[in-house]
């Protein structure tokens, strides 16, 4: 490699690095602005010019969100519904992926193509059907009404099927020789060999369920049943909207997700890579 080639590579690397930093700053600035604005008095937030740091630092808006709203109840609702969506989605997808991968039954091929075709149907198209169904079942304003319509995640089924397909057939044949049931084969061979996938998919599903807004917003009208993403829209008083208060509530709503991402960053990246590979 000649010195000129090395110099060109260094220049190219430098340009890519600068562009990456610029894009990262552009992406992070709204987040920084929201956090800083939540620490400003309201009169500073509504000023017509940009201030990158508050003149007066205050935590009064966080105190208001914690003491004058039902944010504790909203947290509980979000935790329960997000865990419910995660457990039910991952477990049912696991069973479906195993059945499609290892079992032979009538209609298997048709079912597989239906799951693949479901990618062409946006979730928003099903909103009206979900609402009518939950209303007829008297499940609106309930945890079940929030959880059930959010269990449709065909990508997780496909990911599980692909990983179960990669398990060597020798393990299954050895289990069959020992008269192991399908449940034993699944729970003692296939799942332990794919714990990493299960962990990654569980974390991403939980984050997705925690951040969900549209369906919980439509399914719940009672304040005490709202999730945190819907509840923060209720942070106002008789005098109108206070932007700093809403921003402080939004920051509090995002803290659990941010912590989950920081703690399980590698698993989250793995799950996103898996999902992107399937959709691509």
Domain 61-279 has CATH 1.10.3720.10: yes
Residue 201 and residue 156 in contact, taking contact as beta carbons nearer than 8 Å:
yes
Q: What is the pLDDT of residue 264?
A: 73
Residue 108 and residue 100 in contact, taking contact as beta carbons nearer than 8 Å:
yes
* Orientation of helix 243-263 relative to helix 265-279, angle to 10°: 90
Q: What is the pLDDT of residue 280?
A: 44
The pTM of the full predicted model, rounded to 2 decimals, is 0.81
Q: What is the mean pLDDT of residues 238-242?
A: 58
Q: What is the pLDDT of residue 238?
A: 44
CA distance linking residue 11 with residue 224, whole number of Å: 57
- Where in the chain are the domains? 3-60, 61-279
Residue with tokens 């205050």: 58
CA distance linking residue 73 with residue 200, whole number of Å: 28
pLDDT digits (tens, 9 = 90+) for 36-91: 888 888 888 877 777 778 888 888 888 888 888 888 899 999 999 999 999 999 99
């Amino acid at each position: 490699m000649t010195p000129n080639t090395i110099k060109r590579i260094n220049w190219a690397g430098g340009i890519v690095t600068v562009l990456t930093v610029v894009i990262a700053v552009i992406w992070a600035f709204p987040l920084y602005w929201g956090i800083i604005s939540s620490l400003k008095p309201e009169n500073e937030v509504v000023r017509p010019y940009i201030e990158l740091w508050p003149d007066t630092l205050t935590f009064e808006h966080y105190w208001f969100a914690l003491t004058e709203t039902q944010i504790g109840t909203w947290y509980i609702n979000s935790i329960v519904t997000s865990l419910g969506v995660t457990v039910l989605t991952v477990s049912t997808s696991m069973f479906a992926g195993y059945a499609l991968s290892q079992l032979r039954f009538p209609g298997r091929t048709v079912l597989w193509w239906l799951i693949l075709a479901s990618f062409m149907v946006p979730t928003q198209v099903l909103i009206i059907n979900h609402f009518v169904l939950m209303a007829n079942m008297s499940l609106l304003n309930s945890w079940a009404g929030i959880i059930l319509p959010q269990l449709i995640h065909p990508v997780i089924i496909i990911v599980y099927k692909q990983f179960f397909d990669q398990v060597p057939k020798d393990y299954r044949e050895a289990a069959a020789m020992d008269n192991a049931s399908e449940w034993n084969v699944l729970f003692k061979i296939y799942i332990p060999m794919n714990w990493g996938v299960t962990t990654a998919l569980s974390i991403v599903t939980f984050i997705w369920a925690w951040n969900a807004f549209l369906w919980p917003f439509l399914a719940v009208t009672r304040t005490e049943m709202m999730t945190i993403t819907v509840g923060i829209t209720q942070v106002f008083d008789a005098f109108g909207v206070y932007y700093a208060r809403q921003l402080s509530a939004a920051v509090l709503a995002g803290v659990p997700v941010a912590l989950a991402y920081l703690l399980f960053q590698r698993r989250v990246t793995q799950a996103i890579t898996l999902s992107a590979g399937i959709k691509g």
